[in-house]
């Protein structure tokens, strides 16, 4: 007998098809983990009823840049805890970066990450290493990694620095149809640096990373992509943070190159001033930039140049962040604050329509990496998010599902309270009471 | 109008808990509470102008006080000096200042402690607190370390130099030196935004890496001084001028000297010049303070140096030992200032009479 759930009276927003549903309440029927029907006044025999009155129903969010820390650093996060944090943040799919211990550069590790023993409640897609050990020298076996389930290659945490190596990476990845995700940082310019270069870095007595360290690598990668002249090649710029790099991407796209890019919420919300009195919760790579770069990120989201939002969720233990600023590791958590921050800045402040905000968080990241998700189409996996876009709640780090608490947003009042997250039709996060099972009744 | 301390950069996080003790926003309440609250000094921007006045006043009072009287002030109180970097001047003057007040002091240095075994700054601080330290005087190679120490221990911390960031007690003793030499008639009066009006302080040397340069640049313009930074691009980026109002950059040393009432030289490390591919002889030719340059371009200027000096590199012996030099006085003023800072840290600053 098939398992049915009826989500009733919600306001459906499908970013893949923004005009498909009116604002009027609609029902959505889930059958065996898939979206079976959508419409007003659906009835279904033996269905669990979920009352979505006054809630928005939209596809579960997709985060294409997270660090789940397994294998090897389970004290920061496990695949299970990271997936739980994702679900709490409204995400139903995440792509896990390979800078684990050891680095995910083999099919064995790629498969291990996806195994049911990891108890991930949401879909976890592995991104495999571009080079062995991410040492930037010899290429990993992309065909084998692809067969094992890898959906992209990256040496994230580090750049693929050498021209010859990057050329080879782009070529080999294109041959198997995998995107190359580049952490664009010219490490020859950033040694010993722990924040953005400029007057603030000087004042704080910290070495700063110039914007050129990012923009230069982006320009170089685009030139290599152009030189390769292969339609299958795809360069994706991870965690873009500077106006200069964004401009390179914009120009490249106009000339028809397949270049995409993502931005983190912290890079369009915060500036380097968030460092305040050496707060390591404002230390990440790429660093928080000056106001004009932060503003350029918002412009890029509004004008569509930036393809999607991705958190770069980077959990670290408390004792690691509680060190001298230069010594503390880079990164903050992001899965449970991304939706709220995106709604706060884009929807509230800049009046971006909800379907566009959701697109940046689901449909478009899924499209960038060729993943499923981000749609309410009939037959699609029932990966859903039920939320109140206008209800604000304070984000409390201590209630986070992540094992780590390294966030600068503790206490921030954020809109977009998540009520329920469903993955393949199963509730993976939620405080919404079920109103019972409907037995063969017409409404 | 009362100057307000330049608060660091909290605009975007107003909701975060304020765990630091801070100088009050307006001078008035600071005066009322001046002598009773324990206070860190992490950067000169922590201090209001009336805080600075209180410290200068206390320094003079304590300097003249009968040593037996002074030694009763902090009898049985415990202070720790935590020095991750070597130091002659700063460490010794803090130590003697504390002992002069009658306090028990202990010095923990990186090389002779569990810091060598990898013990964290946090744990070192908590250990000192558990041993009864009421205040920690910290010198550390990482910018911002004193803020972390204060946060995790809850104790008042005196920053004796953190990385390239700040050396606030140095800036205060430099201020005292300038006042005593150039404004002796104002001795004892509270300072205000016009106290150093008309005075230009020229700071020359490895400014990029200098916490002394930064602390003086933070402090002196608040009292009306102009600060000129001088040096080659590799040691002095253009972004340095953005540190504060009243700061300008000049690449020509002799031209800058002509405008200066104070010529402050900073140590140059030969290895650093080599690392930056700067020619030593050329540097000396362009930026060394020698007797001829001084006589020709700033014959009445006060010469200062935080020490340690490399005689023959950034400054010549005859200038360092000459009549315009206040280098030894700086060290004496350092002892007086640090005596006041320690008392202030423990909330025992002598009452200041309302100005």
pLDDT in tens, B53-103: 999 999 999 999 999 999 999 999 999 999 999 888 999 999 999 999 999
Residues across chain A:
443
Interatomic CA distance for residues A253 and A247, integer angstroms: 10
Taking only the tens place, the pLDDT of each residue in B243-276 is 999 999 999 999 999 999 999 999 998 888 888 8
Interatomic CA distance for residues A346 and A344, integer angstroms: 6
Interatomic CA distance for residues B54 and B191, integer angstroms: 9
A22 — pLDDT class (breaks 50, 70, 90) = confident
Let me know if A333 is exposed, middle or buried by CB neighbors in 10 A (0-12, 13-18, 19+). Answer: buried
Residue B2 has pLDDT above 80, yes or no: no
Nearest CA in chain B to A203: B243
User: Are B163 and A326 within 8 A, CB to CB?
Assistant: yes
Q: What ipTM was reported for this prediction?
A: 0.92
pTM score, whole prediction: 0.92
- Residue A19's SS3 state is coil
- Residue B214's SS3 state is helix
Which of A22-36, A103-117, A150-164, B5-19 is least confident? Answer: B5-19
Distance of CA A258 to the CA centre of its chain: 20
Cis peptide before B183 (omega within 30 of 0): no
Nearest CA in chain A to B140: A324
Task: From chain B, pick out residues whose CB is under 8 angstroms from the CB of A211.
Answer: none
User: Are A322 and B122 within 8 A, CB to CB?
Assistant: yes
Percent pLDDT > 70 in chain A is: 97
A113 close to A96: Cβ distance less than 8 angstroms? yes
| Residues facing residue B204 across a β-bridge | B230, B265
For all residues of chain B together, what is the average pLDDT?
88
Report DSSP letters for A46-79, one per residue.
TEEEEE-TT-EEEEPEEEEEE---TTT-TTT--H
Q: Please provide residue A136's backbone torsions phi and psi, each rounded to the nearest 5 degrees.
A: 80, 20
Cis peptide before A71 (omega within 30 of 0): yes
**What contacts A48, CB < 8 A, 6 or more positions away?**
A4, A5, A6, A434, A436, A437, A438
Please give the helix or strand (H or E) that residue A354 lies within, else none: helix A354-361
- Give the strand pairing for B200-204 and B135-140: unpaired
User: Are B143 and A205 within 8 A, CB to CB?
Assistant: yes
Q: Which two tokens stand for residue A264?
A: 């983190």
Interatomic CA distance for residues A433 and A93, integer angstroms: 24
Q: Please provide residue A195's backbone torsions phi and psi, each rounded to the nearest 5 degrees.
A: -155, -175
Closest residue to A203, CB basis, from B10, B122, B243: B243
A396 close contact with B: CB closer than 8 A: no
Closest CA to B121 of B98, B102, B101, B144: B144
User: Are A273 and B11 within 8 A, CB to CB?
Assistant: yes
As a whole number, mean pLDDT of residues A373-381 equals 97
Q: Distances in Å between the alpha carbon of A287 and those of A66, A275, A283, B226?
A: 17, 10, 6, 33
- Residue with more model confidence, B33 or B233: B233
Closest residue to B148, CB basis, from A203, A205, A324: A324
Taking only the tens place, the pLDDT of each residue in B167-220 is 999 999 999 999 999 999 887 799 999 999 999 999 999 999 999 999 999 999
Interface of A with B in 33-62 (CB under 8 A): none
Q: Distance from B75 to chain A by nearest Cα, in Å?
A: 33
Interior/surface letters B297-322, b for 16+ CB within 10 angstroms, e for the rest? bbeebbbbbbbebeeebbbbeebbee
Q: Is the dihedral of CA A37, A40, A45, A47 positive or negative?
A: positive
Taking only the tens place, the pLDDT of each residue in A33-91 is 999 999 999 988 889 999 999 999 999 999 999 999 999 999 999 999 999 999 999 99
- Give me the active site residues of A, please: 312
DSSP annotation of B73 reads T
For all residues of chain A together, what is the average pLDDT?
96
As a whole number, mean pLDDT of residues A287-311 equals 98
Interatomic CA distance for residues A100 and A157, integer angstroms: 10
B5 — pLDDT class (breaks 50, 70, 90) = very low
């Amino acid at each position: 007998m098939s398992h049915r759930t009826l989500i009733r009276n919600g306001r459906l927003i499908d970013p893949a098809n923004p005009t498909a549903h009116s604002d009027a309440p609609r029902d959505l029927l889930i059958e065996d983990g898939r979206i079976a029907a959508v419409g007003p006044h659906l009835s279904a025999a033996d269905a669990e009823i979920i009352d979505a009155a006054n809630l928005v129903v939209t596809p579960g969010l997709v985060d294409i840049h997270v660090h789940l820390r397994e294998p090897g650093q389970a004290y920061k996060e496990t695949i299970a805890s990271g997936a739980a944090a994702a679900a709490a943040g409204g995400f139903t799919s995440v792509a896990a970066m390979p800078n684990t211990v050891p680095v995910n550069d083999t099919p064995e590790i790629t498969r291990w990450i996806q195994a049911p023993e990891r108890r991930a409640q949401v879909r976890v897609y592995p991104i495999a290493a571009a080079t062995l050990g991410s040492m930037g020298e010899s290429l990993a076996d992309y065909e084998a990694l692809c067969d094992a389930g890898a959906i992209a290659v990256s040496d994230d945490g580090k750049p693929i620095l050498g021209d010859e190596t990057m050329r080879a990476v782009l070529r080999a990845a294109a041959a198997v149809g995998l995107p190359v995700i580049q952490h664009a940082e010219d490490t020859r310019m950033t040694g010993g640096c722990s924040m953005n270069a400029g007057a603030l870095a000087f004042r704080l007595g910290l070495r700063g990373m110039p914007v050129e360290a990012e923009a230069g690598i982006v320009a170089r990668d685009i030139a290599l992509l152009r030189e390769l002249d292969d339609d299958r090649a795809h360069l994706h710029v991870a965690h873009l943070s500077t106006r200069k790099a964004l401009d390179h991407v914009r120009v490249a796209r106009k000339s028809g190159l397949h270049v995409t890019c993502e931005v983190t919420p912290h890079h369009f919300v915060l500036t380097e001033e968030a460092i305040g009195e050496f707060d390591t919760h404002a230390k990440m790579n790429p660093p928080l930039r000056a106001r004009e770069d932060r503003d350029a990120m918002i412009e890029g989201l509004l004008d569509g140049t930036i393809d999607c939002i991705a958190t770069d969720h980077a959990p670290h233990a408390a004792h690691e962040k509680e060190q001298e600023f230069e010594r503390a590791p880079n990164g903050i958590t992001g899965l449970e604050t991304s939706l709220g921050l995106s709604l706060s800045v884009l929807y509230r402040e800049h009046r971006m329509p909800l379907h566009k905000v959701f697109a940046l968080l689901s449909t478009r990241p899924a499209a960038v990496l060729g993943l499923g998700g981000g749609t309410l189409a009939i037959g699609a996996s029932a990966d859903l998010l039920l939320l109140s876009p206008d209800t604000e709640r304070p984000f409390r780090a201590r209630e986070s599902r992540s094992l780590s608490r390294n966030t600068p947003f503790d206490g921030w009042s954020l809109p977009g309270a998540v009520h329920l997250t469903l993955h393949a039709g199963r509730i993976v996060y939620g405080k919404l009471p079920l109103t019972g099972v409907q037995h063969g009744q017409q409404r | 109008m009362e100057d307000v301390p330049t608060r660091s950069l909290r605009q975007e996080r107003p909701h975060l808990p304020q765990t630091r003790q801070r100088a009050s926003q307006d001078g008035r309440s600071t005066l009322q509470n001046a002598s009773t609250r324990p206070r860190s000094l992490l950067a000169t921007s922590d201090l209001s102008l009336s805080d600075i006045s209180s410290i200068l006043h206390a320094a003079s009072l304590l300097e003249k006080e009968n040593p037996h009287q002074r030694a009763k002030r902090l009898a049985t109180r415990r202070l720790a000096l935590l020095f991750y970097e070597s130091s002659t001047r700063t460490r010794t003057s803090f130590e003697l200042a504390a002992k002069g007040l009658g306090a028990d002091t202990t010095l923990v240095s990186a090389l002779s402690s569990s810091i060598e075994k990898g013990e964290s700054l946090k744990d070192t601080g908590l250990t000192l607190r558990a041993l009864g330290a009421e205040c920690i005087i910290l010198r550390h190679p990482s910018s911002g370390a004193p803020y972390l120490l204060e946060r995790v221990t809850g104790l008042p911390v005196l920053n004796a130099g953190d990385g390239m960031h700040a050396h606030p007690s140095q800036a205060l003793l430099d201020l005292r030196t300038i006042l005593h030499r150039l404004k002796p008639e104002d001795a004892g009066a509270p300072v205000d935004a016009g106290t150093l009006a008309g005075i230009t302080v020229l700071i020359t040397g490895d400014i990029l890496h200098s916490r002394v340069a930064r602390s003086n640049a933070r402090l002196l313009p608040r009292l009306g001084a102009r600060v000129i930074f001088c040096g080659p691009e590799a040691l002095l980026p253009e972004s340095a001028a953005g540190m504060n109002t009243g700061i300008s950059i000049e690449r020509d040393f002799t031209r800058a000297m002509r405008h200066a009432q104070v010529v402050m030289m900073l140590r140059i490390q030969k290895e650093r010049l080599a690392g930056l591919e700067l020619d030593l002889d050329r540097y000396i030719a362009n930026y060394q303070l020698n007797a001829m340059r001084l006589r020709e371009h700033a014959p009445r200027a006060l010469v200062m140096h935080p020490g340690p000096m490399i005689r023959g590199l950034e400054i010549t012996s005859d200038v360092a030992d000459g009549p315009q030099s206040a280098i030894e006085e700086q060290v004496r003023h350092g002892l007086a200032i640090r005596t006041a800072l320690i008392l202030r840290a423990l909330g025992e600053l002598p009452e200041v009479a309302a100005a």
